[in-house]
Amino acid sequence: MFDFSQKVVVITGGTRGIGLETVKAFKKAGATVILFGSKKSSVDTAITNLKNEGLEVEGYFPNLSDFNEVNETIEDIVSKHGHIDILINNAGISARNSIENTTAEEFVNIMSLNVNALFFTSKAVVPYMKKNNGGVILNTSSMVSIYGQPSGVGYPTSKFAVNGFTKSLARELAPFNIRVNAVAPGITKTDMVASLPKEMIDPLIKTIPLGRIGEVEDIANAFLFLASDMASYITGEILSVDGCARS
Distance, CA of 31 to CA of 60 (rounded, Å): 17
Query: Helix, strand, coil % (nearest 5) of the chain?
Result: 50, 15, 35
Listing from the earlier edge strand, what are the strands of the sheet with 58-60?
58-60, 32-36, 8-11, 86-89, 135-140, 178-185, 238-241
Q: Can 155 be counted among the known catalytic residues? A: yes
DSSP string, 30-95: T-EEEEE-SSHHHHHHHHHHHHHTT---EEE---TT-HHHHHHHHHHHHHHHS---EEEE------
Given the residues 128, 147, 155, 233, the one annotated as active site: 155
Helix axes 154-173, 104-111, angle to 10 degrees: 30
Beta pairing partners, 238: 182
Q: Could you tell me which of 143, 153, 170, 150 has the C-alpha nearest to residue 111?
A: 153
- How far, rounded to the nearest angstrom, does the alpha carbon of residue 158 sit from its chain's CA centroid? 13
Phi-psi region of 152 (alpha: psi -120 to 50; beta: other; left: phi over 0): left
Which residues does the annotation mark as catalytic?
A: 155
